[in-house]
Amino acid sequence: MAEVIRTEGLTKSYGPRRGVVDLTFSVAPGEVFGYLGPNGAGKTTTIRTLLDLIRPTSGRAFVFGLDSHRDAVRIHARVGYLPGEFSLYDHMTGAEYLAYLASLRGGVSAERIAELADRLDVDLSAKIRTLSHGNRQKIGLIQAFMHRPELLVLDEPTQGLDPLIQHEFYRLIEETRADGRTVFLSSHVMPEVERVCDRVGIIREGRLVAVEDIGDLRAKELRTLEIHFAAPVPASAFDGVPGVREVEAGGDAVRVTVAGPMDAVIKRIAAFEVVDLTSHEPSLEEIFLTFYGKGEGGGD
């Protein structure tokens, strides 16, 4: 099987400023794919189309090579899904809820459910209505992971989880990858994607603006230099210097963002009297903002 997920010109229109436009991407087996974008960019719309909860306006989506709509039931048997926003049945206990979903899936061993509940530290004997948001999120995660699906589709999976549990969640993702299974995970939290994903698709205002290898992104070698000069230096001093992406000058302090080799910019800095110089490797967030610009999304 070539691809676990493939979309061809997938488009979903609602009104203006909503939905997704002409998405074409694919996710390979065994990959952890991050789907990154601000709230309202279209992450949830894409995911719910893959799950056949909403239907594309045009274009198609394939999961395991099967049509997302026509073969939805066969796809669902092999997928674990955590929605971005969901409720559980309040009057049930966590154990009853999971038993119900497990039997709809043809059965899941009780040991497997108990093991996940133990790792995520959630009490399954309590009525769901008495649980905190974080504990409900954990039960949502258990139902997605419990049947060891070939593909996990997780919409903002770590929201509401405390850091220790997030760490356990990352371990679950690692184990899934080690099994050769595939993960499609949406997030607006950059460090999360940086930490767990192999590849990332960036979506803004309904359009896929880039699909990159996390490694390739880092190789873009973006650096920010903060220089304090003895006397004020204008931003125009860096005009035409190769590699310079952005310059912010304020009195004798200058911030320069550089892509690629540093040689030319260092030589230009050396023309002035330098008091202090610091360099830092930007987070992926800054890399994205530099390459893909800042943009505000609409409501989700």
**Which residues would be at the binding site for other proteins (CB under 8 A)?**
44, 48, 51-55, 72-74, 76-77, 79, 81, 83-89, 91-92, 96, 99-101, 103-106, 140, 143
**Using CA atoms, how far apart are residues 258 and 122, in angstroms rounded to an integer?**
47
Nearest 10 degrees: CA dihedral of 222, 228, 229, 235?
Answer: 50
**Using CA atoms, how far apart are residues 135 and 141, in angstroms rounded to an integer?**
10
- Reported as type and span, the H/E element at residue 271 is none
CA atoms within 13 A of residue 249's CA, in its CB half-sphere: 13
Q: CB nearer to other proteins: give 79 or 258.
A: 79
Smallest gap from residue 1 Cβ to other proteins (A): 19
Are 7 and 65 in contact, with CB atoms under 8 Å apart? no
Smallest gap from residue 86 Cβ to other proteins (A): 5
Bridge-based pairing of strands 20-27 and 253-259 is unpaired
Smallest gap from residue 63 Cβ to other proteins (A): 12
Are 193 and 284 in contact, with CB atoms under 8 Å apart? yes
Smallest gap from residue 41 Cβ to other proteins (A): 14
Smallest gap from residue 16 Cβ to other proteins (A): 17
Q: CB nearer to other proteins: give 139 or 172.
A: 139
